[in-house]
Amino acid sequence: MVVRTKGARCRNRAIFIRKFPKQKGNMAAASNPTSQGGAARTSSQPNLDAITDDDFEYVDEDFGSSYSPDQVQPQPEPMIPDLFKQPPLVKDDLITDTSRLQDQTVDHCLPFLAGEDGPLELNDYGLPRLNREKHVKFLKQSLGPLPGRFVAMDASRPWFLYWCLSGLTMMGENVSSYRESVIATARTMQNESGGFGGGHGQLSHLATTYSVILAIALVGGEDAYDVIDRKGMWKWLCTLKQPDGGFQVCMGGEEDIRGAYIAAVIITLLDLPLDLTPESPAYDGGRSNLLTGIAEYVRSCQTFEGGISSQPNNEAHGAYAFCALACLALLDNPRRVIPSYLDVPRLVSWLSYRQYAPEGGFSGRTNKLVDGCYSHWVGGCFPLLEACLGSSGSGSKEKNRTATGLAAAPETLYSREGLIRYILTCCQDQTKRGGLRDKPYKMSDAYHTNYVLSGLSSAQHQWDLDSDPLPLSEGETTPTMAALGADSIWNVFPYIDDNDQIYEDSDRVRPIHPAYAIPQKNVAGIKAYFQGRSGFA
């Protein structure tokens, strides 16, 4: 990983120069109302005609003042733009249950956004700090024994591993101490037929397999990597592959965009063979492989609104938009593959409409409320799109165009300030419980803590692609997928806009890979281990 920082800008303060009269004899004479040779003056002010520049001394107001320690200085109001502390100026006249809920949500959020909720210490921009200590404690407790009511979450145990380890990692914690526990837990969840279930004896599912593999990547180490039965995983994925290019999420289960994304993650992280077994529903005598048709399946899920649905002809949803973009980004260079299979302008428009004011956060669907988890599911789409729409070429005519001819994007496609304000003011549970949440009147949980932090990481960092796509072979219209986007070189640096950032540097969290949603270091570690092994040895 190449980590860069933009050049630090000088934060110069304006120095105002003010003149003060010197206490000299000629000054006293000039101001004397009964000076020699003249009539008495009725004014107590000095004779300005008798004063020159030499009679003044200059004071740098940045350091000099007439301040007395006994004086109580008024505290400046936090610099909160009106956009984030008042109801929307334009409202629909049609009153519905949906609009009432939206108004109630705004009413709940405004006191937090305006810095009026509780005795919290705010910075100059009206934001509380990221309460790392409380959130770390909350995640560590969530990795331990849970109350009896959590029995309903038994099949989600792999998710708790990922959510908590990922959140801790983003906040700078070393999670390698959990390696042995993750190994022991993962072994009980792996099935002989391949893949991981939610617990011992439970059916293997792509969602739980995804979370176990990411948890293993986060703790790292050869012992953890060796838990994964790659051969069984490959055979199992082959049974889930469908003739239309997509994947079922489990044997006999639904086929949707989650399956396509998770399959791409597993195949690329574990360096699995692409050949299909004869038992695969998609087997056609060797002409197709695990990645054949997957990009076309993603394209079929784009809706008339421009968003992405779980399956063709369903409603667009923010999480499915992330799955679609991340899936394509793993198959080939995003600058080529994303515009080749998706209507990017319509998708950008749909995603932009998910960010609300005054809240600043994202909703997941049209006419739905903001939710902290979409800080990742929707906010995480923008790094991929900004990379896709990065300018191409060195010639002056190409600087404002992408590799596929689309207009190059500005530096950012959404209000990072708005999202950061929503996260730090509305999503933090400031009670002794800690953790992060959906919105102010909700309880914190591990799911929201992880994905709110993921969204914060996305807003605080900028991801760039160093290179344009490699040329296709003669006669090729789509990549062979043999390289699996190996020519995509991602660089990350802290995002700093033209104005001062609205949070302290101590509130910045670690960057995570825009497609894998774990740090790039962990991605590189697990990839290097499996790429260095031949076959299934």
Q: Which amino acid is at 24?
A: K
**Cβ pair 269, 526 in contact under 8 A:** yes
Whether 445 sits among the annotated catalytic residues: the reply is: yes
**Cβ pair 106, 87 in contact under 8 A:** yes
Catalytically annotated residue among 438, 447, 503, 516:
438
Catalytically annotated residue among 374, 422, 451, 495:
374
Catalytically annotated residue among 445, 447, 451, 513:
445
Whether 374 sits among the annotated catalytic residues: the reply is: yes
Whether 62 sits among the annotated catalytic residues: the reply is: no
Rounded Cα distance between 118 and 126, Å, is: 13
Catalytically annotated residue among 250, 373, 381, 426:
373
Which residues on neighbouring strands pair with residue 196, listed in sequence order?
A: 190
Whether 157 sits among the annotated catalytic residues: the reply is: no
- Burial label for 199, CB within 10 Å (0-12, 13-18, 19+), is middle
Whether 368 sits among the annotated catalytic residues: the reply is: yes
Catalytically annotated residue among 135, 258, 448, 461:
448
Catalytically annotated residue among 256, 332, 371, 429:
371
β-pairing, 2-3 with 56-60?
A: unpaired
Dihedrals φ, ψ of 491, to 5°? Answer: -120, 145
Catalytically annotated residue among 368, 442, 510, 521:
368
Catalytically annotated residue among 108, 140, 365, 527:
365
| Torsion sign (Cα): 221, 227, 231, 234 | negative
Contacts for 214 with CB less than 8 Å, ≥ 6 apart: 162, 166, 516, 517, 518
Rounded Cα distance between 225 and 445, Å, is: 28
Catalytically annotated residue among 241, 258, 317, 421:
317
CA distances in angstroms from 37 to 31, 33, 47, listed in the order given: 14, 11, 14
Q: Active-site residue numbers?
A: 317, 365, 368, 371, 373-374, 438, 445, 448
